[in-house]
Structure formats: structure tokens, C-alpha cells
Amino acid sequence: MTSSSLEDLSITTDVLIVGGGMAGAWAATSAAQAGAKVVLADKGYCGTSGVTATAGPGHWWVPPNPPEARDIAVANRVAAGLGLGEAEWMYRIIDQTWRTLPTLARHYAFGIDEAGRVNYRAVRGPEYMRALRHHVLSLGVTILDHSPVLELLARSDGSIGGARGLRRREGGRLFQVNAGAVILAAGGTSFLSHLLGSGTNTGDGYLMAAEAGAEMSGMEFTAVYTIAPAHSTMTRSMAYSFATYYGADGHELDLPKMGPDLTVSLARALQRGPVYCSLNRMPDDIKARLHTISPNVPLVFDRWGIDPYRDRFEVTLHNDGTIRGVGGVRVHDADCATSVSGLFVAGDNASREKVAGAVTGGGNVNSAWALSSGVLAGRAAARLARGTQRDGTHLRPLGRAGLRPRRQPKAVDAAAARSGVRAEMHPFEKTLFRTEAGLKASSLVLEDLWAELADHAHTGTLAVRETAALLATARWSVATATTRRESRGIHRREDFPLQDSGFAVRLLSGGLDQAWVRIDETSTNARPGQFEAAS
């Protein structure tokens, strides 16, 4: 572990929340409102870190009247989820979002539409997270900023009783929180693509959950990409609804205007060469207000001296990984508990399969999920913590790769390993257009990198633990994608282009020394005979 001359910081609390994006912040509010003493630790700063803060999360917003509106919304979503979603969960998050979001009105000025109605659905990220920070603090929650959590701590019965991390603005001083219950809300991961706001999200919450014995679900669904001006992070897609695309020779490309079909067509075009874009079809009245709708979108063009409505600028696609993909830690019950006692999960850290199914929940379901899973986990963790012992002396640290090597400690090139993860998880031919051979090749590379790191890395620095988390997540994703020998939703296999009804099941994954994949027997239509054991 990192040594430090400063004395370690030790805190005892009811509920510890790891990660302060929207899921962690909503979890903190609900746990505090349920009477719990709450500590929230974020790697960066709760308010600016994570993908919520830089985006403009539009929530799944369906008021209870007219009554059929929710039935229609859920029926559409069940159909879109291609057999992997659950209507009951969808109703639950629609209702939870509708009840909870307006409670932020003291801290967030919700918009008023043309008809004078309050618009709760669409909020702007920086203001939303600033409001959530104020809300959380007003409820007496202790926030530890710049305090990445590195590993969970278990009691003798295996239940989770706290976590350990470092205070990176205090010279790497260690801190330990002894808690009655822990909620993981450390976000998803884009595998370090340049997706806006995703830099601190390296899958740490997945790794820590797996080390505690929890399983993942839906890790094959990572093939989501978002358009951005080349060399920028600005993966905000609204303006591209009005785009025209051109090849390097100046000819217009006939691409769909939005959605997953745009991604596929654009990726194929980018495989052939550079693609240029103009937002020339945007109506003048929208142009005039773009800077007050999404102020970070035009600033990129302004700084580069580009007129995006006349000029042609080069575009790229950044991978969303599990952020606007689907996978994460499997939610065990309606309290967002994991299969490990004392451990809960929320937001992108949790698998969204039950509400999004096999497609992205971008644009609405994702934030409704982050809010609702946060609220549910916070409430249940507070309840559990009330009856739990909080004695920090008998806690066992669970961190492995990067902290406690399997073999002889020695220096490991973590930066090279991170490049390796990027090289296997971002290229279109490896993630968007998958093949058996490609997945096998990725698996070999990732297994080697993992073995090296798990065998030898010992420094316990943040960078090494992040690298371990990225590698573990990538391994589960590749293993699950290999097992799903069909195409379904955002998982596309070039060698199995059709959907196979036998695969209308959710796939669980996990394992550290050995990655494994198996069917989630609770998902419908399971026909186990169709699966081979994962390699």
C-alpha cells in the first residue's frame, strides 16, 4: 500500500457512498433522509466529477396522468429492450423519478416551458450536480472530495463493513471508513475514450464489487459510440440531428440523422477515411439559442474559429463503454442490493439491463435509473445499517490486483496496460463489429496484461488500481461478448448477424483469476443448452 507520513484518517458512519455523481448524490440524500449518518467519498469533486456533471441528463419523465401514458412508455421500452428488460423495474424507476426529481427545486431552478409548465425532465449537468451537492450538504452528509476509494473491507462473515482509500490532495494520506453498509456509485467506464466527463470513471466500482464476490450483468453491451468534433471531448449529440456529412472527396454521405444506425453507418464511413460534417440544416431559431441550451457545445467551435453551420469540420466517434452502454454490477433485488451482504449498487456502476434491455438507455432511462437506483439503495442501506455492528478493528481488506500481488512484487508498466485496454475496447472492428477471431485475439492480449498486473503490481497507487479495474472490466466484456453468439441490440456479431431466440437471456460474468460467464437464471426464456462454458 502507499505509505504515508501523515496519520491515517479513520471515520465511522452508518452508510458510505463511493462516488458522487447523480447516483451517489441521490443515494446520499435518501440515506440521510432515512435517518442515517452518511459519508460520500468521490475520487474528484462531487459537483464536477463524472458524466452527469458535464452532460445534460434528460430523465425518463412520465407523469401518472393520463394513466395509459406509463403503460405505453413501458410497453415501448420492453419491446426495445429485446427480451432483456423487466416491466416491473421500468414502472418502478418512472415512478421514483417522478416523485423524487421535483424535491430538488430548492436548489435547482427547473425550466418553465412555453405553456408555463415546469419542465423537470431536462436538467443541465453542472447546475444539477451543483444543486445535488448543496442538497446533500444541507442534509448533513459528510463529503470527502479528492478521496478515491481503493478497496472494500469485509467483516468476518464476508459482509461489507467499510472501505479504504487515499486523500490525494493530502499527499496520498490513507483514509478508512467503517460503515454499516456501503453503496457503490462509482459510475461506468468508457475505457478511457475521450467521452466527455468520463476521465475519472475507470470501472473501480466493478472491480471492488467483484473482489467482494458480486457478479456483473450485461457486460457485452458496450458498443455505443457518440459523435464529437475530431480532437474534442464534446460528445453531445443533439446538434447532429441537423447535420450533413461529407467524405474526404467532398461528396455528401447519405447517413441516417440519429440513433444507433447513424453510429454504424458513420463508423463504416470512418473506417474508409475522414468524415466531415456541417450543421447546416439547423433552423435559425435553434442556432440563436444553442449557447443557452447547451453552452459547452458552441464553445468548441468558437475557440477553433469554425462556423459549424457553414464550414465543414472533421468528426469522430468516442466509445461510451458501459456509460451509455448497459453492463454493470448485477442488481439482486428491488433494494439495489448486490449478492454480497452489506453492499449496494447504483447508477452506471449497476447493470441497467432490467430497465434498458439490450439497447442504450441514453436520453432518458439512464438518468432515471441513476436517480432511482440511488434513492432505493440509499434507503435500504440506511435501514440495514441501523442494525449492524460498526467495529473497524476486525475488517479484512479485499483489494487484490495492484495492492497484493499473487507473485513476486515488481514494477509493472500501468500506462502501457491502459493503452492496451484502449486498443482492444475502442476500435470499431473489435467492439462494434465483433467476430469470434477478433474477440479471441482481444482476450489473449487482455489476459496477458491482467496476469502481469495481478502477479506483480504492488504499489497500490490510484493509477495501478484504475488500470486493474479497466482490465478486469474489459475481460468480462470480451468474455461475455464471446459467449453471446448472436446479434442483439447494441451487441453486434458480424459472424452471427441474426438475433437468436435462445439467447433472450441475461448473461452474468465475473471472476478475477479466471473470467467466467453464465446465464442469469432469473431472466426469462432461459434455454441453457445453447451455451458453451466461457473460456
Partner 1 sequence: MIELIVADRCTDCGACVEVCPANVLDQGDAGLPVLVRVEDCQTCFMCELYCRADAIYVAPDCDRRVAVSPEEVVASGCLGQYRKHSGWDEWADRFPNEQWLMDVVFRRATAAASEEAKSGPHAGAEENQLPK
Ligand X SMILES: Cc1cc2nc3c(=O)[nH]c(=O)nc-3n(C[C@H](O)[C@H](O)[C@H](O)COP(=O)(O)OP(=O)(O)OC[C@H]3O[C@@H](n4cnc5c(N)ncnc54)[C@H](O)[C@@H]3O)c2cc1C
Residues 116-135 that bind partner 1 (CB under 8 A): 119, 121-124, 126-127
Number of residues that bind ligand X (CB under 6 A): 44
Q: Is 206 exposed, middle or buried (0-12, 13-18, 19+ CB in 10 A)?
A: buried
| Pair 366, 420: CB distance under 8 Å | no
Q: Which of 162, 165, 188, 199 binds partner 1 (CB under 8 A)?
A: 199
Residue 345 binds to partner 1 (criterion: CB under 8 A) = no
Least distance to ligand X, CB of residue 21, Å: 2
Residue 198 binds to partner 1 (criterion: CB under 8 A) = yes
Residue 360 binds to ligand X (criterion: CB under 6 A) = no
Structural element, H or E, at residue 197: none
The neighbouring-strand residues paired with 142 are: 39
Please spell the DSSP secondary structure of 73-106, one letter per residue.
HHHHHHHHTTT---HHHHHHHHHHHHHHGGGGTT
When the beta carbons of 298 and 502 are compared against ligand X, the nearer one is 298
Strands 275-278 and 343-345: unpaired
Whole-number Cα distances in Å, 233 to 30, 177, 229, 464? 33, 35, 8, 24
Q: Which of 360, 367, 442, 487 binds partner 1 (CB under 8 A)?
A: 360
Residue 416 binds to partner 1 (criterion: CB under 8 A) = no
Residues 73-132 that bind ligand X (CB under 6 A): none
Q: Which of 73, 183, 195, 282 binds ligand X (CB under 6 A)?
A: 195
Q: Return the one option of partner 1, ligand X, none that residue 370 interacts with (CB less than 5 to 8 A, by type).
A: ligand X
Q: Which residues contact 371 (CB under 8 A, 6 or more apart)?
A: 22, 23, 26, 59, 93, 96, 97, 100, 101
Number of residues that bind partner 1 (CB under 8 A): 72
Residue 291 binds to partner 1 (criterion: CB under 8 A) = yes
Least distance to ligand X, CB of residue 461, Å: 12
Residue found by looking up cell 435509473 in the block: 369
Report the SS3 class of residue 279. coil
Q: Return the one option of ligand X, partner 1, none that residue 505 interacts with (CB less than 5 to 8 A, by type).
A: none
φ, ψ (nearest 5 deg) of residue 125? -50, -55
Least distance to partner 1, CB of residue 110, Å: 7
Position with the least CB separation from ligand X = 21
Q: Which of 13, 29, 34, 43 binds partner 1 (CB under 8 A)?
A: 43
Least distance to partner 1, CB of residue 272, Å: 19
User: Phi-psi bin for 301: left (phi > 0), alpha (psi -120 to 50), beta?
Assistant: alpha
Question: For residue 297, how far is the Cα from the chain centroid?
Answer: 22
Q: How far apart are the C-alpha atoms of 248 and 256, rounded to whole Å? A: 18
Q: Which of 222, 319, 338, 364 binds partner 1 (CB under 8 A)?
A: 364
Residue found by looking up cell 442490493 in the block: 337
When the beta carbons of 216 and 300 are compared against partner 1, the nearer one is 300
Whole-number Cα distances in Å, 496 to 326, 484, 492, 528? 20, 9, 8, 18
Residue 19 binds to ligand X (criterion: CB under 6 A) = yes
Q: Which of 533, 420, 439 is nearest to 494 (CA)?
A: 439
Least distance to ligand X, CB of residue 9, Å: 15
Q: How far apart are the C-alpha atoms of 512 and 504, rounded to whole Å? A: 26
Q: Which of 121, 124, 236, 484 binds ligand X (CB under 6 A)?
A: 236
Tell me the window of 99-107, 247-255, 278-286, 359-367 that interacts with ligand X (CB under 6 A): 359-367
Q: Return the one option of ligand X, partner 1, none that residue 479 interacts with (CB less than 5 to 8 A, by type).
A: none
Residues 149-188 that bind ligand X (CB under 6 A): 149, 185-187
Binding mask 133-152 toward ligand X (x if CB under 6 A, else -) reads ---------------xx---
Structural element, H or E, at residue 448: helix 436-456
When the beta carbons of 181 and 266 are compared against partner 1, the nearer one is 266
| Pair 195, 226: CB distance under 8 Å | yes
Q: Which of 15, 22, 356, 401 binds ligand X (CB under 6 A)?
A: 22
Binding residues vs ligand X (CB under 6 A): 18-24, 41-44, 49-52, 55-58, 148-149, 185-187, 195-197, 200-201, 204, 235-236, 323-324, 347-349, 362-367, 370
